[in-house]
């Protein structure tokens, strides 16, 4: 068995670990062995010397992110097992073998037993983002595990950790760890998208909205649809393909709008009545016509940390109130929040406050969330970040 440096917890702090919560806060630590450094793989013990868990140490508020609640003797094996089990799940839910969808999330951090790591699969290219120095140092193990699991299907691995680790001590650069840039064309429910993981936001496509984009298609036939914060046009492509009468796509990023245009054309939908607006959504909603049948509100995370939570909730309220003022009766609003620090009840509270302000009759038709390739550990409710409501507004 290899010797990993030890972290000893205070007496009353072991219970959270026994309940399989994957984070250890710095305040729970009694002693660190002197040889523990940022990024080290460590073992966590009680004061009495009982083994609790193994994980990656990082000085900071969350000091250890747990990868295993059983002693680990071979890290290569641990990574292989995690990737195998993640792949098995995606196969079981029909994603890894689908001929209509060839992009999905393979590793969703805590939800797949690899806290601090995201891996998205884009038709042969795996795009990884490590959110900690220690996880980034494990990248060769990840690449080896991906090679074993995917074999010749794996054409490239792009490490995009530089974008998220630029403020840390890590020497992370965005680069290919294997292979080189591929065409970037993927299929999602049969719709074609070109994904630019190098220039795009996150890993290139917001894969977490796949099922919700599909859900939208049930409401749009012959309707006038407004897709706000459209990014590369995901909801717009689905809406046009589902026979919307007219679609307006709004984003403040010129690049995003260029991708939207490309993706609409790639699906041979350019003949549709589709307008693209480069604008701030809050401004757009002030001046646009009030005749939309369906409005999609999918803003970026308004709050990155707890300190910004109140402001974020107020922004959700403002945005939803603006949409309620512009949707026809009866109309449909798909409203989302991807801020992890805003829990579902607070998000719904903000939407309710906006509804009250509008004075309209508003019913909840559906509660939306992140799909099965973005699983969360039941012991780590913080992992649920995407919340959405389908509302009927009269
Ligand atoms: N709905 C998209 C993902 C949205 S990501 C999808 O399904 O793929 C959020 C988008 O909001 C980004 O493209 C970003 O450029 C845009 N954005 C952020 N703030 C904005 C604002 N105030 N007005 C308009 N667009 C904004």
| 340 occurs within a structural domain | yes
| 58 occurs within a structural domain | yes
Whether residues 14 and 141 share a domain: the answer is no
| 193 occurs within a structural domain | no
Q: What CATH number should be reported for the domain holding residue 154?
A: 3.30.750.80
Per residue in 19-65, pLDDT (tens digit) is: 999 999 999 999 998 889 999 999 999 999 999 999 999 988 999 99
- Altogether, the residues listed in the chain come to a count of 394
Whether residues 91 and 62 share a domain: the answer is no
Residue 331: name the closest of 294, 303, 361 by CA. Answer: 294
Contacts of 16 (CB under 8 A, 6+ apart): 24, 28
Q: What CATH number should be reported for the domain holding residue 320?
A: 3.40.50.150
Whether residues 161 and 254 share a domain: the answer is no
Nearest-atom index, ligand 1, CA of 279: 24
Per residue in 310-353, pLDDT (tens digit) is: 999 999 999 999 999 999 999 999 999 999 999 999 999 999 99
63 within 8 A of 5, measured Cβ to Cβ: no
Domain range enclosing 31: 6-68
Q: How far is the CA of 124 from the centre of ligand 1 (A)?
A: 26
| 196 occurs within a structural domain | no
Asked which of 18, 48, 68 is the last residue of a domain, the reply is: 68
Edge-first strand order for the sheet with 175-178 is: 103-108, 117-122, 125-130, 156-159, 175-178
Residue 158: name the closest of 138, 134, 182, 141 by CA. Answer: 182
User: What b/e readout covers 133-151, taking b as 16+ CB neighbours within 10 angstroms?
Assistant: bbbbbbbebbbebbbebbe
231 vs 98: CA distance, rounded Å:
25
Per residue in 197-247, pLDDT (tens digit) is: 999 999 999 999 999 999 999 999 999 999 999 999 999 999 999 999 999
Nearest CA to ligand 1 atom 3: 231
Per residue in 133-145, pLDDT (tens digit) is: 999 999 999 999 9
In the chain, the N- to C-terminal Cα span, in Å, equals: 66
Cβ < 6 A, ligand 1 pocket = 201, 206, 209, 229-232, 234-235, 251-253, 256, 280-282, 298, 300
Q: What is the pTM of this model?
A: 0.97
Whether residues 178 and 235 share a domain: the answer is no
Q: Which of 231, 337, 374 to mutate to test the pocket of ligand 1 (most atoms within 8 A of CB)?
A: 231
**Tally of domains in the chain:** 3
Three-state secondary-structure class, residue 25? strand
Whether residues 214 and 332 share a domain: the answer is yes
Q: Which of 299, 322, 323, 337 to mutate to test the pocket of ligand 1 (most atoms within 8 A of CB)?
A: 299
Q: What CATH number should be reported for the domain holding residue 44?
A: 2.30.130.10
């Amino acid at each position: 068995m290899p010797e990993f440096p030890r972290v000893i917890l205070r007496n009353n702090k072991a219970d959270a670990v026994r309940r399989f919560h994957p984070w250890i806060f710095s305040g729970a630590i009694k002693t660190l062995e002197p040889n523990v450094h940022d990024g080290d793989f460590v073992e966590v013990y009680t004061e009495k010397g009982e083994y609790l868990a193994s994980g990656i140490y990082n000085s900071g508020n969350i000091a250890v992110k747990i990868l295993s609640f059983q002693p680990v003797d071979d890290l290569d094996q641990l990574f292989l097992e995690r990737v195998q089990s993640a792949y098995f799940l995606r196969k079981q839910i029909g994603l890894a073998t689908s001929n209509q969808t060839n992009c999905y999330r393979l590793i969703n951090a805590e939800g797949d037993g690899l806290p601090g790591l995201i891996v998205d699969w884009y038709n042969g290219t795996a795009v990884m983002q490590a959110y900690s120095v220690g996880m980034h140092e494990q990248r060769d193990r990840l690449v080896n595990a991906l090679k074993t699991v995917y074999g010749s299907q794996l054409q490239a691995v792009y490490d995009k950790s530089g974008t998220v680790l630029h403020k840390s001590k890590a020497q992370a650069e965005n680069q290919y760890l294997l292979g080189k840039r591929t065409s970037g064309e993927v299929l999602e429910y049969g719709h074609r998208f070109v994904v630019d993981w190098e220039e795009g936001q996150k890993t290139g496509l917001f894969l977490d909205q796949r099922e919700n984009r599909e859900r939208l298609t049930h409401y749009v036939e012959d309707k006038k649809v407004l897709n706000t914060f459209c990014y590369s046009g995901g909801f717009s492509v689905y809406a046009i393909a589902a026979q919307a009468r007219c679609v307006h796509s709004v984003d403040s990023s010129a690049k995003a709008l260029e991708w939207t245009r490309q993706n609409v054309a790639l699906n041979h939908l350019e003949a549709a009545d589709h307008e693209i607006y480069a604008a701030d959504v809050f401004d757009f909603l002030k001046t646009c016509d009030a005749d939309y049948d369906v409005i999609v509100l999918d803003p970026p995370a308004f709050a990155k940390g707890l300190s910004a939570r109140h402001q974020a909730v107020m922004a959700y309220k403002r945005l939803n109130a603006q949409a309620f003022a512009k949707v026809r009766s009866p109309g449909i609003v798909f409203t989302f929040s991807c801020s992890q620090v805003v829990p579902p009840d607070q998000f719904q509270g903000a939407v309710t406050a906006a509804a009250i302000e509008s004075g309209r009759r508003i019913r909840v038709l559906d509660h939306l969330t992140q799909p099965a390739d973005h699983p969360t550990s039941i012991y780590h409710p913080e992992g649920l970040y995407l919340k959405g409501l389908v509302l009927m507004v009269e």
